[in-house]
A and B are shown apart, each in its own frame.
Chain A
Amino acid sequence: MTTKKKEEKKNKISRKDFFKKVWIALGTLAGIEFLGISFNFLFHPAKNKTDSASSLVVAGNVNEFSPGTVTMFSGHKFYLSRLKDGGFLALSLTCTHLGCSVGWDNSANHFICPCHSSTYTITGEVISPPAPRALDLLPVVIENGIVKVDLSSPVKRQKFEKSQETYPEL
């Protein structure tokens, strides 16, 4: 009889346990559902919508930019550098250190960040830290002598390489 009763007891406890587990499972499920709904609100699709029409910006005619100069496009937050060899580079305005907007110092011929004095060359390469890497690159397209800059996909890079330049077609 002892074994039978023990077994019954065991069963009873496990039934209780079973409902306890069911309640915990239901509670967890409800919690997850609530979290899911919250995430839908936090990251709703309209947030990350990029205007595809404005992602390709017309900077101007190739001839408007003489070699060795930097032009600022403050509305779109980038600089268009034309290097001495005639190649184009579109550089993000945003300092890679803490996200301030760098300024172009024409007399010193470098970019300087007002926040922590990081400096960059005309190609966006770091001259003096704390900036950890070169300014982000925006892809440049040249069609029929018109320079266009693609704002949608900035490229991260460590340093400047010749292959990053875009040359006008001859």
Chain B
Amino acid sequence: MEKKLNKNNIFQRFKNSVFTRSITPKEEKEKIQVVFRSFILHLHPSTLPEKSLNFSVTLGLGGMAVLLVFIQGITGILLRFAYQPFPDRAYDSILYIKNNIFFGEFVRNIHHWSGTFLLVIVFLHLLRVYFTGGYFGKRQFNWVLGILLLIILLFSNFTGYLLPWDQLAYWAITVSTSMFSYIPFMGDNLVEIIRGGKDVGANTLLLFYNLHTGVFPLLLLGIMGFHFWRIRKAGGVVFPEKETDTEIKTVTTIPNLVVREFVVALILIAVLLVFSLLFNAPLLNKANPAFSPNPAKAPWYFEGIQELMLHFHPFFAAIVIPVTVVGFLVLLPYFRYDNEISGTWFLSEKGKRTAKHSTIIGLIITPLLIIADEYFMKAGVGIAFVPPIIYNGLIPFVIVLLILFGYFKFVKTKFSTDKAETIQALFVLILTIFILLTLTAIVFRGKGMMLTFPWN
């Protein structure tokens, strides 16, 4: 049999070997096939329910997070060409990037702000998934994967925080890693392992550099793939389903989804670039182990925990409470719910009302408790016959748990909510308290971590 001669030139043939089909399809059938066959787009379904395209369903947050991860990858690799992970050279290499490399400061700014945006957007994504019921049924485990991704992102950002080796970086990492020393029995050893020595030093920097630029990015990419695959397996993102719908209307991914993603991506990139032009990433003086700045604050996303440190024994503030909250988050999909509603914001009208109620309760009690503890409880500090871990740790912790439990019961009886709605009210209360604690530490804590107004 005679072979048909390919008349295309080598460039065309190369292009055809990469893209086996047209990349700008016109026909409906072709559009479906392009997605099915192309490498990048195969994370997408070839067709999807029309309702899931609605912006109010996802707010585009997951897609934004993916884009930011890739921006972090690209800018991170650029910075890596000039950065030197050694205490005597790290700070100078940052200065060099800032002052001597063309657009160096800009790239560093993008990396800094994109990292900040990423945590905020991933957190909002978590809230979106929670409040649209994206953790029920077949999405249970993907919620856990999401929490895992959040934790990896937190530690990615945390390890990157040290790299500039300025006063801000050095003391934020010193303060944050010291929190681990309050774990009973193994605390001190654990801190030494994390720091690679007694103090934050050369070993810490090398370790954090390797985690930040090697281990965490790889872990992140791997688990992200898993996360997306589970979305596909669950039949895509959540969207409101009515029982009257007999047939779900589907549309093709090209152009419907791809164009929308493109618009969101362009807007986000534009915002990020403008932000990076206007605001420089912070850089203080070179790290000086002998002098702590006043106040020395943890990275902003750990300041909620630092605020807790001012009210609870460190073991409870840094270990017990965060582990309890993360445990609660991980277990959220596995409580036995009697009514699983996906795709509707806040489950129901009643859910909306209770969520508002718990937001207001949180907004009232958190400042009251902070101020009460700050100014009136200090007198009770010196009870000599009980150790501080009891009177400053266990007792307040149990009191807080009782308040939360009491609120849980109160909502259930007052609003006669079902289980999902009651737990949602509790979730909102904890969320409000967490946000307020973080804001208090960022905005209202001045010298010596005393309460003050930011304009003082």
Query: Could you tell me which A residues sit within 8 Å of B by CB distance?
Result: 42-43, 47-48, 72, 74-75, 77, 93-94, 97-101, 103, 112-117, 129-130, 132
The answer to whether B174 touches A98, judged by C-beta atoms less than 8 angstroms apart, is yes
The reply to whether the CB of B278 lies closer than 8 angstroms to some CB of chain A is no
CA distance A75 to B199 in the complex (A): 13
Check if B309 sits within 8 Å of A98, measured CB to CB.
yes
Q: Is the CB of A114 within 8 A of B175?
A: no
Known: A77-B289, A130-B309. A115 touches B203 (CB 8 A): no
Question: Which B residues fall within an 8 A CB radius of A?
Answer: 171, 174-175, 177-179, 181, 193, 196-197, 199, 203, 289-296, 309-310, 314, 381, 388, 447-450
CB of A94, distance to nearest CB on chain B (Å): 8
Contact A98 B448 (CB under 8 A): no
Report the bound CA distance from A123 to B290 in whole Å.
19
Given contacts A47-B197, A132-B314, A132-B388, contact A101 B448 (CB under 8 A): no
Q: Is the interface of A mostly helix, strand, loop or mixed?
A: loop
Contact A117 B449, beta carbon cutoff 8 Å: yes
Task: Give Cα A152 to B365, complex, Å.
Answer: 48
B-side contacts of A72, CB under 8 Å: 290
Instruction: Contact check, B292 vs A100: say whether CB atoms are below 8 A apart.
Output: yes
Contact among A42, A99, A117 for B174, CB-based, below 8 A:
A99
Q: Chain B residues near A42 (CB, 8 Å)?
A: 193
Instruction: From the candidates A47, A48, A114, A129, name the one contacting B293 in the complex (CB within 8 A).
Output: A114
Kindly provide the distance from the CB of B360 to the nearest chain A CB, expressed in whole angstroms.
Answer: 31
Across the interface, do A114 and B197 meet the contact criterion of CB distance under 8 Å?
no
Measured between alpha carbons, how far is A98 from B295 in the docked complex, in Å?
13
A74 vs B288: C-alpha distance in the bound complex, in angstroms? Answer: 9
Query: Within 8 Å CB of A77, what residues of B?
Result: 199, 289-290
List the 10 closest pairs (A to B, CB-CB), nearest first.
A114-B294, A74-B290, A99-B178, A117-B448, A100-B292, A98-B178, A115-B296, A98-B175, A101-B292, A114-B292
- Taking the closest CB of chain A, its distance from the CB of B215, in whole angstroms, is 11
B interface: dominant SS? helix
Whether A48 lies near B197 (C-beta < 8 A) is yes
Measured CA separation A101–B287 after assembly (Å): 12
Residues of A within 8 A of B181 (CB): 99
Q: A42 CA to B309 CA in the complex, in Å? A: 30
Q: Complex Cα distance A42/B293, Å? A: 31
Instruction: Report the separation of the CA atoms of residues A130 and B175 in the bound assembly, to the nearest whole angstrom.
Output: 14
A101 touches B289 (CB 8 A): yes
Q: Contacts A99-B175, A100-B171, A100-B174 given: A115-B292 contact, CB under 8 Å?
A: yes
Decide: A114 and B296 in contact? CB cutoff 8 A.
Answer: yes
**What are 19 A-to-B residue pairs whose CB atoms are below 8 Å?**
A42-B193, A43-B193, A48-B197, A74-B290, A75-B290, A97-B314, A98-B175, A98-B309, A98-B314, A99-B181, A103-B292, A114-B448, A115-B292, A116-B310, A116-B448, A117-B450, A130-B309, A130-B314, A132-B314
Across the interface, B309 reaches (CB within 8 A) one of A43, A100, A112, A116, namely A116
- The verdict on A100 contacting B296 (CB below 8 Å), with A47-B196, A116-B449, A117-B449 known, is yes
Q: Which residue of A is nearest B196, CB measured? A: A47
Task: Give, as a whole number of angstroms, the nearest-CB distance from A30 to chain B.
Answer: 20
Q: Which residue of B lies closest to A95 (CB)?
A: B292
Q: Are A113 and B309 in contact, CB atoms less than 8 angstroms apart?
A: no
User: A43 to B196, alpha carbons, bound, how many Å?
Assistant: 8
Query: Which residues of chain A are within 8 angstroms of B175 by Cβ–Cβ distance?
Result: 98-100, 115
Q: Which of chain A's residues have a CB closer than 8 A to the CB of B179?
A: 98
